[in-house]
């Protein structure tokens, strides 16, 4: 089975990529791709896995790590899952839809990954059927059940300034007995966020959350300002709160994590770095010919810097704008062209501006104006990481009509704002996932999703919180549609190439 999968993986790859896959495969990469809970393997200090665009490298500071008995890797709860089930090294510590499909095929759907609780469209559905897991298999989505009315990041109840009604419930988890707003909960479906490079997601650049109009909230554990960059809806203010939620929900772990377990998980989360390391299309390492791609740079840099006032975002690849004739001679013309395209892509990302409209968090309530001219880097502004230095809750439209794709396999909610109407949608909003509003309780926050890290993208398709972009081109196409950018075909390809090497 594993071998078949590996060959299937290689099929779409052209010449050089195929050679690379086979070379890595020969080193024994492929059989080890899937990390099963409790298998007790040693996680090497440096580990490469291939993907469609080359190879991803994972670095563990202080590694190798013995995973036997480690709470991130052991099945703590009733369903046989561990954290690693959904946060896989080969998938940039996230989980791609393709990996979910491979697990289904390899286990006949018996892998704990598909546990009814959130690895199926809804626990009320017949669990043996593939169709009951279609959202995970097709778009890599897990069910996330939030309390209704709302609870804030610190678990405090919040009185929402909106009502929520279920317009459509294709899976039953918003209307069957025990489910839905009437029963005190709301189910949405989301992608796994990568658990790596965490120091960047926890970094605090400035003392304020300008999108909410307050100083940053303080961490209940250490009293320091919180970054506000965890989880699609920012429901967990720090790693402890996040892992307590994760262990009780995803792992169905009935007890509380011990302080020792919390510390070990946290230490691990802070020690793991991942990024694309090599690209056959570029003819080799992403840290060659002056570039500084790959996870080592991430590990060794200070987190939290704003690209616009320091090291520009994706300047890792600036040297490829001026590859010397001597270096160029070592590359095929295609490889040279690819490297130049990546360097251009970084400039397109930073400098090619367009009108950003109707995106709450940016166009309201902050005073940037609606519209405002800017580029990708306006929101994806942290050096080396491409997340937001400020808490990154922005409504890109990915989960909300009219901009979201018309997925009829997702639940659809009608939000009615009780006080002020939403500044861009008005009083009534149709959404698949209210996002941050499920934490803040504010209708002005409906549809806001926390920006993710942009590293290791090649290993973890599909993209966006609800998996609407099936590949990197799909990401660019979404932005093109959303903001009518008018990118040339070359600019689109440059952006795709850039993102493929992050």
- What does the binding site for ligand HEC look like in residue numbers (CB under 6 A)? 81, 83, 85-87, 118-119, 142, 144, 190, 192-193, 195, 201, 230-233, 239, 242-243, 246-247, 250-251, 265, 269, 356, 359, 362, 376, 378-380, 394, 396, 398, 449, 451-452, 454, 457, 463-465, 475-476, 479, 495, 499
Nearer to another protein, 159 or 325 (CB): 159
- CB of residue 477 vs another protein: minimum separation in angstroms? 23
Which of ligand HEC, another protein, none lies near 339, with the C-beta cut-off 5 to 8 A by kind?
none
Nearer to ligand HEC, 413 or 463 (CB): 463
Which of ligand HEC, another protein, none lies near 355, with the C-beta cut-off 5 to 8 A by kind?
another protein
For 144, other C-beta atoms within 10 Å of its C-beta total: 21
Query: Peptide bond preceding 488: is omega within 30 degrees of 0, i.e. cis?
Result: no
Question: What gap in Å lies between CA 214 and CA 314, rounded to an integer?
Answer: 30
Nearer to another protein, 261 or 315 (CB): 315
Q: Shortest CA distance to 303 belongs to which of 415, 217, 227?
A: 227
Nearer to another protein, 212 or 276 (CB): 212
- CB of residue 187 vs ligand HEC: minimum separation in angstroms? 11
Residues 299/61, Cβ–Cβ less than 8 Å: yes
Which of ligand HEC, another protein, none lies near 376, with the C-beta cut-off 5 to 8 A by kind?
ligand HEC
Give me the helices (H) in 208-294, please: 239-249, 259-271
Tokens 């300008």, located at residue: 210
- CB of residue 171 vs another protein: minimum separation in angstroms? 35
- CB of residue 319 vs ligand HEC: minimum separation in angstroms? 21
Residues 381/388, Cβ–Cβ less than 8 Å: yes
- CB of residue 85 vs another protein: minimum separation in angstroms? 36
Which of ligand HEC, another protein, none lies near 232, with the C-beta cut-off 5 to 8 A by kind?
ligand HEC
Nearer to ligand HEC, 65 or 495 (CB): 495
For 215, other C-beta atoms within 10 Å of its C-beta total: 11
Nearer to ligand HEC, 22 or 270 (CB): 270
- CB of residue 361 vs another protein: minimum separation in angstroms? 12
List residues near another protein by CB under 8 A. Answer: 204-208, 210, 213-218, 223, 225, 302, 304-306, 309, 351, 353, 355, 363-375, 378, 423-424
Tokens 């009604």, located at residue: 165
Which of ligand HEC, another protein, none lies near 83, with the C-beta cut-off 5 to 8 A by kind?
ligand HEC
Q: Which residues pair with 425 in a beta bridge?
A: none
Nearer to ligand HEC, 289 or 376 (CB): 376
Residues 187/412, Cβ–Cβ less than 8 Å: no
Query: Peptide bond preceding 462: is omega within 30 degrees of 0, i.e. cis?
Result: yes
Degrees, nearest 5: CA angle 53-287-296: 95
Degrees, nearest 5: CA angle 108-110-114: 110
Give me the helices (H) in 27-86, please: 83-86
Question: What gap in Å lies between CA 482 and CA 403, rounded to an integer?
Answer: 7
Nearer to ligand HEC, 63 or 290 (CB): 63
Burial classification of residue 131, based on how many CB atoms lie within 10 Å of its CB (0-12 exposed, 13-18 middle, 19 or more buried): exposed
Nearer to ligand HEC, 139 or 339 (CB): 139
Which of ligand HEC, another protein, none lies near 214, with the C-beta cut-off 5 to 8 A by kind?
another protein
Residues 250/117, Cβ–Cβ less than 8 Å: yes
- CB of residue 396 vs another protein: minimum separation in angstroms? 18
Q: Shortest CA distance to 359 belongs to which of 423, 308, 415?
A: 423
């Amino acid at each position: 089975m594993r071998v078949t999968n590996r060959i299937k993986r290689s099929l779409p790859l052209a010449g050089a990529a195929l050679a690379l896959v086979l070379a890595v495969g020969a080193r024994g990469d492929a059989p080890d791709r899937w990390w099963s809970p409790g298998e007790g393997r040693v996680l090497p200090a440096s580990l490469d896995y291939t993907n469609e665009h080359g190879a991803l490298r994972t670095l563990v500071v202080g590694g190798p790590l013995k995973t036997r008995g480690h709470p991130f890797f052991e099945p703590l709860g009733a369903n046989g899952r561990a954290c690693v089930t959904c946060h896989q090294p080969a998938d940039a510590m996230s989980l791609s839809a393709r990996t979910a499909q491979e697990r289904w095929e390899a286990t006949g759907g018996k892998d704990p990954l598909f546990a009814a609780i959130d690895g199926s469209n809804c626990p009320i559905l017949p669990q043996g059927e593939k169709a009951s897991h279609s959202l995970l298999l097709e778009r890599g989505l897990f069910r996330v059940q939030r309390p209704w009315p709302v609870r804030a990041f610190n678990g405090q109840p919040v009185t929402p300034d909106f009502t929520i009604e279920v317009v459509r419930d294709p899976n039953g988890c918003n209307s069957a007995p025990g489910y839905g707003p009437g029963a005190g909960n709301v189910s949405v479906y989301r992608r796994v966020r990568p658990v790596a490079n965490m120091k960047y997601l926890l970094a605090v650049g400035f003392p304020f959350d300008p999108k909410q109009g307050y100083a940053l909230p303080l961490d209940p554990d250490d009293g320091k300002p919180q970054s506000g960059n965890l989880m699609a809806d920012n429901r967990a203010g720090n790693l402890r709160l996040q892992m307590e939620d994760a262990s009780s929900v995803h792992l169905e772990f009935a007890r509380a994590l011990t302080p020792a377990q919390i510390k070990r998980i946290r230490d691990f989360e802070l020690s793991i770095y991942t990024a694309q390391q090599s690209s056959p299309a570029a003819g080799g390492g992403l840290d060659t010919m002056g570039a500084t791609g790959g996870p080592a740079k991430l590990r060794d840099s200070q987190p939290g810097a704003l690209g616009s006032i320091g090291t520009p975002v994706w300047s890792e690849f600036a040297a490829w704008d001026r590859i010397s004739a001597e270096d160029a001679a070592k590359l095929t013309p295609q490889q040279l062209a690819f490297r130049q395209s990546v360097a251009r892509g970084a400039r397109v990302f930073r400098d090619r501006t367009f009108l950003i409209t109707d995106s709450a968090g940016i166009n309201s309530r902050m005073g940037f104006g609606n519209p405002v001219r800017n580029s990708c880097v306006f929101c994806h502004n942290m050096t080396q990481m491409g997340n937001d230095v400020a808490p990154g809750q922005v409504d890109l439209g990915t989960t909300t009509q009219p901009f979201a794709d018309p997925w009829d396999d997702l639940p659809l909610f009608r939000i009615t704002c009780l006080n002020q109407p939403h500044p861009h949608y008005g009083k009534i909003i149709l959404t698949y996932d209210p996002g941050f509003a499920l934490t803040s309780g504010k209708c002005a926050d409906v549809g806001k999703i926390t920006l993710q890290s942009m590293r290791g993208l090649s290993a973890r398709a599909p993209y966006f919180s609800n998996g609407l972009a099936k590949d990197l081109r799909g990401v660019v196409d979404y932005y093109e549609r959303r903001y009518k950018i008018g990118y040339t075909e070359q600019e689109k390809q440059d952006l795709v190439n850039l993102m493929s090497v992050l």
